[in-house]
Amino acid sequence: MNYRDYLSITPEIAKAIEENTPVVALESTILSHGMPYPENLEFAHKVEELVRAEGAIPATTAIIGGKLKVGLNAEELELMCKGENIAKASRRDVAVYLATGQTAATTVATTMLIADMAGVRVFATGGIGGVHRGAQETMDISADLQEFAHTNVCVVSAGCKSILDIGLTLEYLETFGVPVLGYQTEHFPAFYCEESGYNVDYKVSGAEEVAKIMKTKWDLGLAGGVLVGNPIPHEWSMDHKYIDAAIDKALEMAKEKGIHGKKTTPFLLATIKDLTGGDSLASNLQLAYNNAVVASKIAVEYAKVK
């Protein structure tokens, strides 16, 4: 057996990949562990509609029934959104969950991995994992960053949350040769906020330029991802003092409760959501929609130059 035997790609997506029709990968951790039910289900369907409206085919990924799923039907989306007994699969978990038949949501790292196996080059998410604050002591660095170092997928995100050390996250990406592009901005975004206080390496004018950079990088044999920082739309951007206070409180609670390992990110995300009520959820939905639209435009342009 080889990796292809573990992939379960819907006929529509398989045909699109075969015919060089644009496809956009979408992750499921954002559904199972990042948003409440049933808002996440409405989001899961709407984000797929937005991708289609741009002329691309959506491919939400998950691990179900011992398969790496590329494209989920309505029933499978419902399963992932209800989130009951759904594990979170980063790279180190993939083989275990496949071998044991555990249902699992895919993180940025795992979605990149599966997209690459399937031949999908563009992926839209909310925020990426990164170097956690205090990583100098804990060594808590998301496997997402190593995936960027190795796997040829362009990921459109709204940057990362300041639950992370954003400066160190950018340093890490630099060390591993990952281009960080600002979509029509020179600022690296901080998820709920348009700016993080850090700049990107390169500001790009639009999707066409991103597609050219992807093609050039991979033509050269420079393995690894491309990270596009796409800021949250201005009208949905949150006050950074308000959101920082919630983040600080969440970090304090995580420390008190001794939360660590793979539980850290979901705990922080859920706590911030509780502390900020519906405000942060509304912004989260909007930035993810915005990323899906930009990723679709990039997929359309990449299909032309590839």
**Spatial CA neighbour of 260 closest among 135, 93, 103:** 135
54-57 LR contacts (CB < 8 Å, sep 24+):
54/293, 54/296, 54/297, 54/300, 55/22, 55/296, 55/300, 56/21, 56/22, 56/23, 56/24, 56/122, 56/295, 56/296, 56/299, 56/300, 57/12, 57/13, 57/16, 57/21, 57/22, 57/23, 57/24
* Residues in Cβ contact with 163 at an 8 Å cutoff, skipping those fewer than 6 apart: 132, 133, 247, 250, 251, 265, 268, 269, 272
Residues between 65 and 124 that touch ligand PSU (CB under 6 A):
90, 107-108
Please say if 194 is a catalytic residue: no
Contact call for residue 32 and ligand PSU (CB under 6 A): no
Contact call for residue 34 and ligand PSU (CB under 6 A): yes
Q: Which does 225 bind (CB under 5 to 8 A by kind): ligand PSU, Mn ion, none?
A: none
Size of site (CB under 5 A) for Mn ion: 1
How many Å apart are CA 212 and CA 240, to the nearest integer? 34
Give the nearest distance from C-beta 112 to Mn ion in angstroms.
Answer: 16
Contact call for residue 262 and ligand PSU (CB under 6 A): yes
For Mn ion, the closer of residues 116 and 140 by Cβ is 140
For ligand PSU, the closer of residues 110 and 296 by Cβ is 110
How many Å apart are CA 115 and CA 176, to the nearest integer? 20
Q: Which does 283 bind (CB under 5 to 8 A by kind): ligand PSU, Mn ion, none?
A: none
Contact call for residue 48 and Mn ion (CB under 5 A): no
Please say if 208 is a catalytic residue: no
Region from 13-21, 62-70, 134-142, 184-192 binding Mn ion, contact rule CB under 5 A: 134-142
How many Å apart are CA 133 and CA 81, to the nearest integer? 29
Size of site (CB under 6 A) for ligand PSU: 18
Catalytic residue among 88, 161, 273, 297: 161
Region from 105-113, 133-141, 244-252, 283-291 binding Mn ion, contact rule CB under 5 A: 133-141
Which residues are at the interface with ligand PSU (CB under 6 A)? 27, 29-30, 34, 90, 107-108, 126-127, 129, 142-144, 161, 191, 262, 265, 269
Catalytic residues: 27, 161
